[in-house]
Amino acid sequence: MCWTGVQVGSVTQATPTVTTVTLSCFRYPLGTVSRRHLCIHETVSNLSEGYDIDSACRALTAPWIRDSAIQNTDVEVCSFFEGYENEGKEAILKAGVYDLAEFRQHGTDRGWCPYFFARRMLTFANVIVYSYHYLLDPKVAALVSRDLNRDAIVVFDEAHNIDNVCIESLSVNIDESILGRSRACLGRLARAVERSKAEDASRLREEYERIMTSVPLATMNAAAGSEMRGPPVLPEDVLHEAVPTEIRRAENFLAVVQVVINVLKSRMQLNSSVEESPTRFVEEIVRDGNLEDKKDLRFTSDRLTSLLKTLEVSDWSEYRPLQIVSDFVTVAATYLQNGFTIIFEPFDSYTGDCKPILQLA
């Protein structure tokens, strides 16, 4: 993220991919980038993949990690995040022009995380320059853009691709690699549930009691911490009702996810291209999983997020394949009658090689 305040007509090149044009009448113009460009933690900032950086950051800043560090000084936390929490949350950045290097230096000098500090500044900005994903992708928007000033002017970087991004934001692709790794993730998650039962059953019991309340699961996840990802569906389509009985208990939920994986696997074994409606796909899962209603599957992504939080999973990259599967069934069950379709292609359209892929779009 880059904080700017330049004169009328001036143009500042903040990064190779972000150019901001602002007017002096705007008090808080702000451009945004990811952790990769702003992280100053010695170890995390040296990772190459953005998703790995996000996971490593969570592993140092998750609430349960920070709580453990209070009792055990051997538990590593991010000193820059702690500095931001202790001092930076109430600070306001002085107006001026900062490129990314200067913004990182600002964080280094004060011992504050530049990424989280800039994220907080978004709520004060009245001109925002950022990638369209931050606003159009529901999973990201719920995390980054939910508290934007209602009167803020948003300028999209690379906006000529906006049509494709709108489609991609609600599209989910699954190949054999993702499906195979999701099965391994499910087994790992099941073992984590059993381990939690043996070591601290109260966590799962408390989660069950929370779910039993009338508070929507999406609302509970959003309140659990600023780094909880949002649902993969549009805000107006998020369910605001109690979680179905069939997936309230962790074991029952994992059993339903296993059914989802089995149905996806059956599709992957086809020898020809197939196009089907989400309704048919979802009905098969409902039948095999002994669910009462197709709508139950609309909770899949939120239920997985809740379980990962309950089990205090810091490295979410381990469960990314399972998140993709949960997003697939969540979007399919949410938009049964809204023009979505499921397409299976057994061969690569460019090379002709056998490379099965399922696409929900």
The pLDDT value recorded for residue 215 is 63
pLDDT in tens, 122-147: 887 778 878 888 888 888 887 788 88
14 contacts 99 by C-beta, under 8 angstroms:
yes
Asked whether residue 191 carries a pLDDT value surpassing 60, the answer given is yes
Asked whether residue 71 carries a pLDDT value surpassing 50, the answer given is yes
What percent of the chain clears pLDDT 90, i.e. is strictly above it? 41
The pLDDT value recorded for residue 351 is 84
Q: Which is it for strands 354-360 and 19-21: parallel, antiparallel or unpaired? A: unpaired
310 contacts 343 by C-beta, under 8 angstroms:
no
| Rounded Cα distance, 43 and 232, in Å | 30
| Rounded Cα distance, 269 and 260, in Å | 15
* 293 CB-near residues (< 8 Å, 6+ apart): 244, 286
Return the bridge partners of 157, or none. 131
331 contacts 195 by C-beta, under 8 angstroms:
no
Q: In degrees to the nearest 10, what's the CA dihedral of 246, 251, 253, 254? A: -150
The arithmetic mean of pLDDT across residues 162-189, rounded, is 92
Asked whether residue 174 carries a pLDDT value surpassing 60, the answer given is yes
Asked whether residue 306 carries a pLDDT value surpassing 50, the answer given is yes
| Rounded Cα distance, 168 and 136, in Å | 10
Asked whether residue 311 carries a pLDDT value surpassing 60, the answer given is yes
The pLDDT value recorded for residue 126 is 78
Asked whether residue 279 carries a pLDDT value surpassing 70, the answer given is yes
The pLDDT value recorded for residue 163 is 85
Asked whether residue 8 carries a pLDDT value surpassing 50, the answer given is no
The pLDDT value recorded for residue 151 is 86
Asked whether residue 337 carries a pLDDT value surpassing 50, the answer given is yes
Q: How many CB atoms lie within 10 A of CB 86?
A: 11
261 contacts 176 by C-beta, under 8 angstroms:
no
Secondary structure in 3-state letters for the chain: CEECCCCCCCEEECCCCCEEECCCCCCCEEECCCHHHHCCCCCHHHCCCHHHHHHHHHHHHCHHHHHHHHHCCCCCCCHHHHHHHHCHHHCCCCCCCCCHHHHHHHHHHHCCCHHHHHHHHCCCCCEEEEECHHHHCHHHHHHHCCCCCCCCEEEEECHHHHHHHHHHHCCEEEEHHHHHHHHHHHHHHHHHHHHHHHHHHHHHHHHHHHHHCCCCHHHHHHHCCCCCCCCCCCHHHCCCCCCCHHHCCHHHHHHHHHHHHHHHHHHHCCCCCEEECHHHHHHHHHHHCCCCCHHHHHHHHHHHHHHHHHCCCCCHHHHHHHHHHHHHHHHHHHCCCCCCCEEEEEECCCCCCEEEEEEEC
| Rounded Cα distance, 338 and 327, in Å | 17
Task: Indicate the range of 183-187, 221-225, 272-276, 340-344 predicted with least confidence.
Answer: 221-225
Asked whether residue 218 carries a pLDDT value surpassing 70, the answer given is no
Q: Which two structure tokens, joined as six digits, stand for 190?
A: 């099941």
The pLDDT value recorded for residue 97 is 61
What percent of the chain clears pLDDT 70, i.e. is strictly above it? 85
Asked whether residue 19 carries a pLDDT value surpassing 80, the answer given is no
Asked whether residue 34 carries a pLDDT value surpassing 70, the answer given is yes
| Rounded Cα distance, 356 and 273, in Å | 9
Domain boundaries, the chain: 2-169, 172-360
Task: Indicate the range of 25-29, 226-230, 255-259, 339-343 predicted with least confidence.
Answer: 25-29
pLDDT in tens, 219-273: 666 554 446 677 888 767 776 777 888 899 999 999 999 999 999 999 999 889 9
